[in-house]
Amino acid sequence: MSHSAFIALGSNVGNRAGHLHRALDAMSAYAAVEESSHLYETVPILVTEQPLFLNAVCKVSTHLTPAELLAAVKQTEDSLGRRKTVRYGPREIDLDILFYDDSVVETADLTIPHVGIPERDFVLAPLMDLDKELRHPCLGATVRELWERLQAPVPPRVMPIGERLWHWGQGVKVMGILNITPDSFSGDGLAGAPDTVAAALAQAREFVAAGADVLDIGGYSTRPGHSYVDVEDEIGRVVPVTAALHAALEIPLSVDTFRVEVAEKALDAGAAWLNDVSGQRPADQATATALIADTETSRSSLHGPPAPNGMAALSARRRVPLVLMHNRAPLQTGPPAGDPQSGPEKALNDRSQDIVAVVRQGLAAALESARLNGVPRWHRIIDPGIGFGKTPAEHAALISRLDELQALGYPLLFGCSRKGFLGKMAGGAPVDERLPGTIAANSLAVERGAQIVRVHDVRENLQAMRVVDAILAGSRDRPPTAYF
């Protein structure tokens, strides 16, 4: 018989996120990790002179009894190098059983529900992510009610990128675009430069000096009417640039692709972030399925076969963030049969359907695919897919109602930079005159909850976003973390 349990994870020594990821991997030997919370950075309790903690909670299913589960998690702590210190002192990994079905257990070694639940923000905040209506079997109160009684601010949510840590809710993050292509719609493709790597490094240095938080490297233009690019050619564009930037710069690197083969090579070269523009549509179903079969299956495979998606499985296996974009535009995933370019960009054009509802439904499906393939909640980012299969009117509706997508509960990346709908809205502005429109749209998006803007013009957009941040910081009604 399978049982449901909630297990708290914490670490404040060494590579804290790495310890949590290894704990999730180790737990898969005796429990299926069905879902995880966001990740929080919290202050220590009782023994306060020690480093900050990273805390999360995961929901698991297991066939073990409570006593057997306790023995298993303690074995996991030992295997990950937890050392005996003072009570409540620093620790490489800390695993606590919070709930086990609706059972009440009281033994010399184990108390369920955990006694600290009602008074600990670093436990209740993650539980709020997982199940607000979960009822404490002894207190009779739901997690939501316990959280409201605590009257504590939400601890800072964070996202690990390698050994770096991003803090959400502390200012807009700016992603700089590096197009290693000859046919970018924006005219900034670097593939035609005499020395592509040198040109990319020079542009990347400018972006870093301007204050970019992450660089997004793409070797396949997905503009409307884009041409097909062979996999090896895309790898040949992306990988040398990624390796050079990784060696020269201290900034996270993202790879913008819909191909698992390209993404894996880029990660090997130093990328630490996957920007999947496919909308979770497999570019090559056989390749994606083969990748999953070759890599331990998914992280959550014990609770049933995952929906096969190679990019999500790769994100889970390499423990890197994954951007999930809504995309209805056609992608050239193979050599064209006749026409060397993709067909025209398609839009909904059905006023009986609500574009925001359509996008929300598509993103929810992509998020579920990521969950089934084992991507932790703290590594999932949503993108409404501005410029991908939508009309100017649909774009206007999406931007004006972007806050409705925040109900999904994830950080949101917004990428409108220089795109065609801005030119149309501005009365026919050419691509090199769309910076004002880009800043206007980005400002509205951030006001409505976007946490990352993806841009060609880093310096100008960063200055504008700092102004937006300063104005929003003065709003008493705006929560510090908009998607809680």
Q: Report the catalytic residues.
A: 419, 454
> Angle between the 355-372 and 392-400 helix axes, to the nearest 10 degrees?
70
- Hey, what are 6's tokens? 């909630």
Which amino acid makes up residue 212?
A
- Residues 6 or more apart from 70 whose CB is under 8 A from it? 97, 109, 110
Nearest-5° Cα angle at 332, 330 to 334: 140
Residue 427 CB neighbour total at 10 angstroms: 6
CA 424 to chain centre: 31
3-state secondary structure of 198: helix
- Please tell me the distance from the alpha carbon of residue 453 to that of residue 439, in angstroms, as a whole number: 10
- Residues 6 or more apart from 367 whose CB is under 8 A from it? 324, 380, 382, 408, 410
Own/partner long-range contacts of 137-140 (Cβ < 8 Å, ≥24 apart): 137/99, 137/102, 137/103, 137/104, 137/113, 138/104, 138/113
CA 145 to chain centre: 28
- Please tell me the distance from the alpha carbon of residue 366 to that of residue 323, in angstroms, as a whole number: 10
Residue 240 CB neighbour total at 10 angstroms: 15
Furthest CA-CA distance within the chain? 74
- Hey, what are 394's tokens? 């649909």
